[in-house]
Amino acid sequence: MHTVRSAKLHISLPPDLYAFVMRRYKARGDSVSAVVADSIRQEMLAERRARLDEALALDAADNLAHARSVAPVVARVLSADRSAE
């Protein structure tokens, strides 16, 4: 089976985006395709980071809820330990 390494795409850009791509293309010396691909990869990474941040926030909320739920038990255990001394 033949693996496709890239796909050809014809796109239209508003003038400001076209100017940005061309500036990056000239400054970097890469192909226009590489500049566009890099921009899309950056967007993909931002999306992944946002999903990870959301998951970490949910995890932190769960951890805090758990800590609060066991705090009274931990306090009693620690208090009992001190009483035994």
Helices then strands, counting H and E runs in the chain, come out as 2, 0
pLDDT of amino acid 11: 93
| Each residue's pLDDT expressed in tens, for the chain with a length of 85 residues | 667 688 898 999 999 999 999 999 999 998 999 999 999 999 999 999 999 999 999 899 888 889 999 999 888 888 886 776 6
Beta carbons within 8 Å of 46's beta carbon, 6+ residues apart = none
Q: How far apart are CA 32 and CA 83, in angstroms?
A: 73
Residue pair 32/25 in contact (Cβ under 8 Å)? The answer is: yes
pLDDT of amino acid 2: 64
